[in-house]
């Protein structure tokens, strides 16, 4: 699908606010400001999340607070974010922590995090590949190009386009997630194609921007036109 500049900027803004809201939520859970059972409830349903955010909107930190006219889209997105990227445990318990050895003097118990990163499975990776193929195929249609399945597969398999296709597909999926569609942990697989380095580790201080998403779409469009013999 071809994404216009305004829709990309809106999607990335909501995604960024969602990450900051999640960090605030984790702190609020630790402080007891938000009950874990309540958080699990509104994180699982967009309508419940919207009602809670609207009720507490004025008390949220400015950096973690969506625009008033974007609360519904934000709430829908946030439920997919928690569902696909994290596990929310109402009673995480404690774990033994040590900085030197395991003796009683150097060890202590710390509470586990309520929010833990989700695990991606083979089915999530397969779904992410399907999403990438669908995105490239739809982009070709939107550009008026004739692009068969073998060409789409070849483009998606190119290592030099891996990050661009992953990023553009992720940005397009953000817009679907704001409408309540949820692909689960497949979105996390897409995220790791461009937000993680070649060694499989998160890029330090990485933050998605609208310019990067727009540039990724433009790069794929150029490759499609070149592969289909169209005029750039």
- Examine the fold and report which residue of 66, 90, 114 is the final residue of a domain before the chain moves on: 90
Q: What is the pLDDT of residue 105?
A: 42
The answer on 75 and 171 residing in a single domain is no
| Banded pLDDT at 96 (limits 50, 70, 90) | very low
Q: Residue 113 domain-assigned?
A: no
The answer on 127 and 37 residing in a single domain is no
Q: Residue 98 domain-assigned?
A: no
Q: What is the pLDDT of residue 42?
A: 52
* Number of domains observed in the structure of the chain: 2
Q: Residue 14 domain-assigned?
A: yes
The answer on 78 and 162 residing in a single domain is no
**Residue percentage of the chain with pLDDT more than 70:** 76
Q: What is the pLDDT of residue 49?
A: 82
Mean pLDDT within 160-176: 96
Q: What is the pLDDT of residue 112?
A: 41
For residues 13 and 75, what is the distance between their CA atoms, to the nearest angstrom?
13
The answer on 145 and 73 residing in a single domain is no
Lowest-pLDDT choice from 3-12, 113-122, 158-167: 113-122
Q: Residue 96 domain-assigned?
A: no
End-to-end C-alpha distance for the chain, whole angstroms: 18
The answer on 129 and 41 residing in a single domain is no
Mean pLDDT within 136-155: 94
pLDDT averaged over every residue in the chain: 82
Q: What is the pLDDT of residue 52?
A: 83
Q: Residue 165 domain-assigned?
A: yes
Lowest-pLDDT choice from 36-50, 157-171, 173-187, 189-203: 36-50
Q: What is the pLDDT of residue 13?
A: 95
Q: Residue 112 domain-assigned?
A: no
| Banded pLDDT at 51 (limits 50, 70, 90) | confident
> Can you give the residue range of the structural domain that contains 72?
5-90
């Amino acid at each position: 699908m071809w994404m216009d500049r305004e829709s990309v900027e809106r999607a990335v803004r909501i995604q960024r606010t969602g990450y900051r809201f999640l960090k605030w939520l984790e702190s609020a859970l630790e402080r007891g400001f938000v009950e874990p059972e309540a958080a699990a409830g509104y994180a699982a349903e967009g309508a419940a999340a919207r009602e809670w955010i609207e009720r507490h909107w004025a008390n949220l930190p400015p950096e973690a607070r969506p625009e008033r006219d974007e609360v519904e889209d934000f709430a829908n997105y946030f439920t997919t974010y928690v569902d696909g990227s994290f596990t929310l445990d109402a009673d995480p318990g404690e774990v033994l922590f040590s900085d030197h050895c395991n003796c009683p003097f150097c060890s202590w118990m710390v509470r586990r995090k309520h929010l833990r990163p989700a695990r991606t499975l083979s089915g999530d990776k397969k779904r992410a590949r399907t999403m990438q193929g669908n995105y490239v195929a739809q982009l070709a249609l939107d550009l008026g190009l004739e692009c068969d399945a073998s060409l789409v597969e070849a483009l998606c398999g190119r290592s030099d386009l891996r990050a661009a296709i992953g990023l553009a597909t992720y940005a397009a999926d953000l817009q679907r997630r704001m409408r309540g569609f949820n692909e689960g942990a497949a979105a996390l697989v897409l995220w790791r194609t461009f937000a993680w380095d070649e060694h499989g580790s998160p890029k330090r201080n990485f933050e998605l921007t609208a310019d990067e998403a727009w540039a990724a779409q433009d790069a794929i469009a150029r490759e499609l036109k070149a592969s289909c013999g169209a005029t750039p």
